[in-house]
Structure 1
Amino acid sequence: MRANDPFARLPEAASFTVTSTTVQDGAPWPPEQFSGAFGVAGGKDVSPQLSWDGAPEGTKSYAVTVYDPDAPTGSGFWHWAVADIPATATELPEGAGDDTGSGLPGGAFQLPNDARAARFIGAAPPAGHGPHRYFVVVHALDVDAIGVPADATPAVLGFTMSSHTLGRAVLTATAETPA
């Protein structure tokens, strides 16, 4: 049984639009967005290109998260979390989530994912586990800086953002590893 939308239980927020040249909403990740770190053939752990628009008035910063609620962990798996993206930014280039965050705008930083790496880590659903959903979310926030330390978990980021989220733009990618 697959979990429902993990964002459905959060406080309501306005919606806005996120698109990607890397993956379309509801479509499978390309091979580059699979995890080389976890030994998926062809996986390169390359973060997706993202563009967004229509954020609510009063947006002072953004955060980006990538989350797999279908991971067999009991708590899902956080693949990427970026905080303190300036409100002037409306795009992240493909590969921005590398080891150094070289494609991130000034002031933005990556938090350690569930593999404890402060970078994007690609999809790696267990063979035969079925399709997994990857929620790629841009969160519009009412603060310039969210105030979490750089070594915080994505769950702490989410908890802290819950009272500061004005809007949420969601794109869902999928992945499956055959048995």
Structure 2
Amino acid sequence: MFILASASPRRRELLTQIGLTFDVEVADIDETPQLAEAALPYVKRLAEHKAAAVFARHPNKARLVVLGADTTVLCDGQILGKPEDEADAARMLRLLSGRTHQVITGVALMTATACQVAAEVTEVEVIALTDKQIADYVATGEPMGKAGAYGIQGRAARFIPRIEGCYFNVVGLPLARVSAMLETIR
């Protein structure tokens, strides 16, 4: 049995896109960064905790595989999670405007015998945004529920002239890395 420990509809779509069959169970964990915790260890820790929380719910672990994931945006050393409200989304977009930032996704694959944890980093360039562009984008509601207050696969695509690294990582799940991890347990 393969379970995705995530509420993200984008992660569901991505796993379905590559032909995987899975169940979805949301892991309810505290996602607050620890004091002075860097972004890479932060997303790896959250991915592992999500996988472990869902894994622990199942009594029959022999054939259980749980995938946990967490994505964050890092700009100027600041971890940008999901915006709290529209004002927070606009603040994040102003911070990203005209700059390159990193999107970091931690993934954890848990089985009865092991837990593999990895992370993927993608550099993302954002054009210089006007106040009107930011306000109009925030008004769509799309920034809400997304790390860094944007979705590269949606309307924000017009703001991103280039990336370096895995596109799917920016959407929310580095598919090649996850596929390679899954191959090691089959």
Normalised by the length of structure 2, the TM-score is 0.31
Structure with bigger RCO (C-alpha 8 Å, 6+ apart): 1
Higher helix share: 2
Which structure has the greater CA radius of gyration?
2
Normalised by the length of structure 1, the TM-score is 0.32
